[in-house]
A and B are shown apart, each in its own frame.
Chain A
């Protein structure tokens, strides 16, 4: 894991004091709310319906037990005893007082954490594959590059007041576990024919009101040129991205309006100039960073057999555990999606419990996933039973990874000032309807995602089943869409027909999944069946008139 040196620490410490000063100037009235807003947003402080929300950065979703314990401590001391893991691999607190914000940042800084650029119209926390460095299928670990970009983008003087927020994801495997093509910039590590490491660069993806899968802008960017090339990508956006309309200000609109070819031409032209400026850190810097992401010492001769006689354990094992690239080891995903729970929420005690597990069993490392779960990336297979036992004790052993109850949901109208409808109660109802695990397992992989408004923070466009809450004449109404995917086969879902009430949409989801069960062929997921047969059978089942 990356460890701060004196420079990193000094920069984060200085930021705490800067923010304390900014808060004081706001509280004294020296600064207007209009002037303060972009400053607090750049520090992750966001005004929700009832209170301030503070979003803490978890760079590329990687953290250690000390940091995880600190998150639990802050939840207890400054919030209501819980935190919420987000789709950008961060953690947010929902009940923060402005007076406490600087003190919280100061506590975070003691464990090399911050809230820098977790909101606002700037480059946000860089996200990455949660299995990075542990997965067998990757070309190289994306996290050293993500850290390089974290540093490059932190307080980048030219790109702090962009037309709109800017999200970057980096992956290193063919299987896309980070929804890379739905980012403003998606980077995929590849090797070219000569064996050199570089990136496929995708620009202009995104969700929100205008969902778009990012087009490929550069087929092969030598890895050493990453900073210069992104500087060029961002400069073109900063200069020409629309600023006349908030809803058309993301880079996807620019790329769409001028076309991927013209955007590419402008970037390449800018890049020719930028590349002469010497902005790329030397190879030694990447090596310094990469050394900190070295694989922990894992014994390749560790026993690979797992005692499966406990059926509940075996269920969990089959659903939550995948092989590590080192024999005898595994990657564990801890579900934060219990039946009736709030997707992504964890109590301070649970956060502490996961920290402890990481310390004892996972070389002191955890990951946050964009699907709002937690990963223990480096565990011995021989320890899995002990891990499961402890997860059971803390209510964290739900075996539903990638099943229909592993729901992504935005905070919705329970918290968010932008929302039109509630997301959390709907997610809870769906988990209750499908609580039977045998049934869930029979339905197989279903990615169900719920957003409480058109801004799509719950990734509904990328859901195999997507649900969008809207306001219809003062009533909450839910639109249902099918066929989206945030994975390597990225696509945007299509609305199936007229919307539903909260209970109605739960029924409609059930009818769609039962229809799938009836017509699927061997090995097909819901998404595959939908893509093969199209919307008609689902539509017919959902909107079928009740018999007279």
Chain B
């Protein structure tokens, strides 16, 4: 496993608990959300969560992208980690959906990740990152 972080704070050490466990015992600060689970149940707890890990058991299952955006749109500022079958070619969309850490089952080459992230000079739509969509650039 390789962990790539786009944050300056220290990586969170406490292991993420399952969503059920988190909702049952409420002092954990790291939780893991599986593809079929509703990220919105975490909204009341965002203030004290330091790490939310979104599981990608298969890279083709795109539910985690919606989970991530919902959490960022609701104000979550802690670490949002994509964990599992995370591949180079998904890095751009993961970052755009608000992930700021990648825990991949594969070996991700940091240089290639950075190259991928720098490739597209503009984006068409507003998402969870800070990139202005082209319509904002066109119309100031």
Contacts and interface: CB of A to CB of B under 8 A. Distances in A.
A282 interface: yes
Interface string B45-81: 0000000000000011111011101000100000000
Given A11-B120, A155-B120, A273-B73, A239 B63 contact: yes
Contact of B135 (A161, A273, A282): A282
Contacts of A162: 62
Contacts of A235: 66, 69
A419 B107 CA distance: 38
A222 interface: no
Interface stretch (B4-12, B18-26, B126-134): B126-134
B89 A151 contact: no
Given A35-B87, A281-B135, A285-B139, A155 B124 contact: yes
Interface in A148-164: 151-152, 154-163
Interface in B74-125: 87, 89-90, 92-94, 96-97, 116, 119-125
B99 to A, nearest CB: 10
A238 interface: yes
B63 A238 contact: yes
A282 B139 contact: yes
Contacts of A285: 135, 138-139
Contacts of A444: none
A480 B93 CA distance: 45
A161 B125 contact: no
Contact of A157 (B60, B92, B121): B92
Contacts of B41: none
Contact of A161 (B65, B96, B120, B138): B65
Contact of B89 (A39, A227, A239, A284): A39
Contact of B121 (A11, A159, A227, A243): A11
Nearest to B106: A35
Contacts of B138: 5, 7, 284-285, 288
Contact of A7 (B60, B116, B119, B134): B134
Contacts of B116: 18
Contacts of A10: 121-122
Contacts of A159: 62, 65
Contacts of A7: 121-122, 134, 137-138
Interface residues of A, number: 40
Nearest to B87: A35
Given A235-B66, A278-B126, A157 B96 contact: yes
A399 to B, nearest CB: 42
Interface residues of B, number: 36
Nearest to B97: A157
A180 B90 CA distance: 32
B60 A158 contact: no
Contacts of A5: 138
Interface string B6-40: 00000000000000000000000000000100100
A250 B53 CA distance: 28
A17 interface: yes
B65 A157 contact: yes
B133 A281 contact: yes
B69 A158 contact: yes
Contact of A152 (B119, B120, B125): B125
Contacts of B119: 14, 17-18
A22 interface: yes
Given A7-B134, A277-B73, A151 B97 contact: no
A38 interface: yes
A279 interface: yes
Interface in A259-289: 273, 277-279, 281-282, 284-285, 288
B127 to A, nearest CB: 5
A254 to B, nearest CB: 13
A235 B59 CA distance: 18
Contact of A238 (B38, B62, B96, B124): B62
A286 B62 CA distance: 30
Contacts of A155: 92-93, 120, 123-124
B121 A161 contact: no
B88 to A, nearest CB: 8
A10 B122 CA distance: 8
Contacts of A121: 60, 62
Contact of B59 (A14, A161, A273): A161
A161 B66 contact: no
Nearest to A11: B122
Contacts of A22: 89
A22 B88 CA distance: 10
Interface of A: 5, 7-8, 10-11, 14-15, 17-18, 22, 35, 38-39, 121, 151-152, 154-163, 227, 235, 238-239, 243, 273, 277-279, 281-282, 284-285, 288
17 contacts: A7-B134, A10-B122, A11-B121, A14-B121, A18-B116, A121-B62, A157-B92, A158-B65, A158-B97, A159-B62, A227-B125, A239-B38, A239-B66, A243-B61, A277-B73, A278-B126, A281-B133
State the 7 A-B residue pairs at the shortest beta-carbon distance, nearest first.
A161-B62, A157-B96, A157-B93, A281-B135, A7-B134, A285-B135, A151-B124
